[in-house]
Amino acid sequence: MSGDRDDRGTIGRRVQRLRAERGMTQRQLAEPAYTPAYISTLEAGRVRPSEEALRHLAERLGVGYEELATGRPARLATDLRLRLTGAQRALATEGAEEAAGQYAALLAEAEAHELPEERAAALLGLGECAVETGELTTGRQYFEQAEQCLADAGAPLPARVPALRGRALAHYLAGELRYAVYLLETTLDELNRGGLHDPDALLLLYASAIGPYMDMGAHARAAQAAELALSLAPSAGDPALVARMHRSVARTLLAEGRLAEADASLAKAAELYRTLQLRTELANCHWMRGYVCAQNGELPRAEAEMREALGMLSAGRAALYSSQVAVELADVLHRRGKSAEAAGLLHGVLDDLSSERGAVHSAGAHRLLGIIAEDARDTEAAEEHYVRALSLLERAGAAGDLADLCRLLGDLLRRTGRVEAALDAYRTGLGHRTAPGTTTLGPAPAQPPL
């Protein structure tokens, strides 16, 4: 504790202020162990009090030793940690805006009292709030500050993993898949090389890598990450983390054709989220179950699950996630013959998506609008949407979606007599695999309408 004290001048001024507030003389404060002259010297900042002297003064002044030595009110750190838990609960149940206000107030207090762990936790919470509302650049900056704060405080790498994972998530949602994977993989390498076998940290990283791996077409790596995550789950101490892992693993199971196991994995995740009352995560679980159903052709159930997810996310003002699930719901509606409703939904969310914000789903929206335009025999509009989608996917490196789109664009170009351009589109898509679980939306029509 002595190494965490303020300097002697600050302590002296604090002693003087507290003594004056209590109407005590220097003699009353000093007795019986010290002299008034010692108190005078201490208050002038000319001597650094020993721990024994500080404990005597704290007792005479009626304050805690830590408060006198550091200026922090007694139990401040404990109180802040309890309130951080409350803010985390608010994010899960009341939405990002409410939670962000709480985290901002906690950040100010933690900074005022120089509490690095609590400051990092508040920054991490603000990052999560920003990501949920779609402010990805702001969220990434909060995560970077949290990571730096912990590094400056000498925190070990496992303690910095949630901030690193937050950075990777922000890059992933912005469509920067390769950089997200780079962040996750380098952190995993450092943990494993250093023998830092922290189950929660490793589980968080492996589970977070599955989505980018699948979008990039690195299916073997995704399967390996899922296998390692499943092996770590029994050792993990955070049930919310285990639930997130089950949600991520479901996508690899789906890609391997293990539909029943994927659904069972999501059922486990949903049950954990209900128990923990994590609304956004539960909504994401409904979303993923809808995705599994859509890839398996169970369209009525897919629509019900995605509508449930969209309602929950919209109520929590999770703007980016709401826009993404709306795109996938629109795909299901189109496949159920509700193309007008699907188009309306897509046009309503396209302004919320861009190359820097939900790039893969922005491409998915243009792809689907292209298919709807083809159905209406508007080949010019269809081509425009496909080309915009292609540009977004090439930038993101989303292999499964890219292969699917190149086939659609190639077929359109071939039917309109541009054979060389069609061949170029097909070549771009070659080498990428499209299978259930490897694309953002359901498979494109096998025989596009002529």
Closest by Cα among 168, 91, 233, 229 to 160? 168
Q: What is the pLDDT of residue 446?
A: 39
pLDDT at residue 447, rounded to an integer: 34
Residue 358 is which amino acid? G
Query: How many other C-beta atoms can be found within 10 angstroms of the C-beta atom of residue 416?
Result: 14
Distance separating alpha carbons of residues 373 and 380, to the nearest angstrom: 8
The full DSSP string for 268-297 is HHHHHHHHHT-HHHHHHHHHHHHHHHHHTT
pLDDT of residue 126: 96
Q: How confident is the model at residue 450, as a pLDDT?
A: 27
Distance between CA atoms of residues 417 and 394, nearest Å: 25
pTM of the model: 0.77
Report the candidate in 86, 107, 100, 168 with the shortest Cα–Cα distance to residue 317: 100
Mean pLDDT for back-to-back runs of 10 residues, the chain (450 residues): 65 91 92 91 90 90 83 76 89 86 94 88 95 92 96 93 96 91 92 84 93 86 90 87 87 85 87 81 87 88 94 84 93 94 93 85 94 94 94 84 88 92 86 57 42
| Alpha-carbon separation of residue 450 from 62, 105, 337, 379, 403 (angstroms) | 86, 60, 18, 10, 21
pLDDT tens digit sequence for 370-388: 999 999 999 999 999 999 9
Burial of 144 (0-12, 13-18, 19+ CB in 10 A): middle
* CA atoms of 327 and 228, how far apart (whole Å): 31
432/407 Cα distance (integer angstroms): 11
H/E element holding 31? Answer: none
pLDDT of residue 164: 96
**Alpha-carbon radius of gyration of the chain:** 28
Alpha-carbon distance 403 to 390, whole Å? 10
Q: What is the pLDDT of residue 435?
A: 53
Rounded to whole angstroms, how far apart are CA atoms 297 and 315? 28
Query: Over the stretch 8-58, which tens digit does the pLDDT of each residue have?
Result: 888 899 899 999 999 999 999 998 889 999 999 999 988 888 989 999 998
